[in-house]
């Protein structure tokens, strides 16, 4: 398929580049050269894969891992300004979503408004929870202090991409002796799915029914488990959510194919969420354009559905040009 749009594609500047170093050897050496690059490697790889446009976002955990709110605000603003300059060089190929300093909810709302109204950004991508001021505890976005932030996201009517990060060390003891299960192997999905379920259960989407959240990796396993989650939750008292979680999943969430190039999983996501809520993504440079595109272009799905996933859903949600 030609003219695909890929919606979870990362970059890094000098200040956050090392945040993505998880693996040694050739994998990291190659990724190191691709994260900050746009013209030399990224655009030719997009062309070979039939990708017309990518939605760029800052790497992880980046801003979310900075305990000092003032520095987080400065880092987010600088990263967004740098990304705006990159998009300005190639407006026909790149769009952007904002990095946000969630350490300060009001500052995050202001930065989102600036990015959307002044820089032309299409939404936000936040790398999971934010750390407390002393760096010791995670702060999740269902907490009361973020009510005003979510009101601003709703008012701007832009999508919010909840991207993974690893749990903090005190919350990672289940991986002791099995560190290989952390990160993208397993830990990312567990952490991000739990955060997304917190948002669902909190009543956030009852207060803001138009909010749209994006999850990568075909939904961080939530589409697979939503029936049982919902089934067992009915026996738990005092859950703030006013509706079944499956309705929030189908009305307030979208999923992408980033880093999950499995046709059986794609079909499951389609059956649970419907074809209007699934989008193509690569997760570049942590995944390869050619592998993602070769799989997607050959996946056994109906051609109208392929067109929706490959381009039309992203164009509509992110308000991208034709």
Nearest partner of 7 among 320, 265, 276, judged by Cα: 320
DSSP reduced 3-state for 59: coil
Asked if 45 contacts 289 with a C-beta cutoff of 8 angstroms, the reply is yes
Neighbour count for residue 82 (Cβ, 10 Å): 15
Two tokens, residue 169: 């060390």
Burial of 294 (0-12, 13-18, 19+ CB in 10 A): middle
- Backbone phi, then psi, for 179, in 5-degree steps? -60, -20
Active-site residue, 283 included: yes
- What is the rounded distance in angstroms from the CA atom of residue 253 to the CA atom of residue 235? 24
SS (H, E, C) 92-159: CCEEECECCCCCCHHHHHHHHHHHHHCCCCCCEEEECCEECCCCCCEECCCCHHHHHHHHHHHHHCCC
Q: How many residues does the chain have?
A: 322
Nearest partner of 44 among 284, 295, 281, 298, judged by Cα: 284
Catalytic residue among 283, 290, 294, 297: 283
What b/e sequence results for 127-163 when a residue is b if at least 16 CB atoms lie within 10 Å of its CB, and e otherwise? bbbbbeeeeeebbebbeeebeebbebbbebebbbbbb
- What is the rounded distance in angstroms from the CA atom of residue 130 to the CA atom of residue 63? 8
- Catalytic machinery residues: 283
């Amino acid at each position: 398929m030609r003219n695909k749009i890929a919606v979870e594609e990362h970059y890094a500047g000098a200040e956050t580049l090392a945040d993505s170093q998880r693996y040694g050897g050739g994998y990291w050496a190659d990724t190191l050269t691709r994260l900050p690059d746009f013209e030399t490697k990224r655009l030719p790889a997009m062309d070979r894969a039939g990708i017309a446009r990518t939605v760029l976002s800052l790497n992880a955990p980046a801003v979310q891992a900075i305990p000092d709110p003032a520095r987080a605000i400065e880092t987010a603003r600088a990263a967004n300004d740098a990304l705006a300059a990159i998009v300005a060089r190639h407006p026909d190929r790149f769009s952007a979503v904002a990095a946000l300093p969630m350490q300060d909810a009001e500052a995050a709302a202001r930065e989102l408004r600036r990015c959307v109204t002044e820089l032309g950004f299409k939404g936000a991508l936040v790398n999971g929870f934010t750390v407390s001021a002393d760096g010791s505890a995670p702060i999740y976005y269902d907490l009361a202090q973020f009510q005003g932030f979510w009101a601003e996201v709703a008012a701007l009517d832009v999508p919010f991409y909840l991207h993974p990060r690893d749990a903090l060390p005190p919350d990672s003891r289940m991986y002791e002796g099995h560190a290989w299960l952390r990160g993208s192997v397993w830990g990312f999905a567990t952490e991000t799915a739990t955060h997304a379920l917190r948002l669902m259960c909190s009543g956030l989407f009852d207060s803001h029914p138009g909010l749209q959240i994006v999850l990568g990796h075909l939904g961080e396993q939530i589409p697979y488990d939503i029936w049982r989650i919902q089934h067992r939750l009915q026996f738990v008292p005092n859950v703030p959510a006013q509706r079944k979680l499956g309705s929030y999943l189908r009305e307030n969430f979208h999923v992408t194919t980033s880093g999950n190039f499995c046709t059986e999983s794609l079909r499951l996501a389609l059956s649970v969420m419907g074809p209007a809520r699934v989008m193509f993504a690569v997760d570049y440079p942590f995944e390869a354009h050619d592998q993602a595109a070769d799989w997607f272009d050959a996946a056994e799905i109906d051609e109208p559905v392929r067109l929706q996933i490959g381009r039309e859903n992203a164009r509509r949600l992110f308000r991208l040009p034709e």
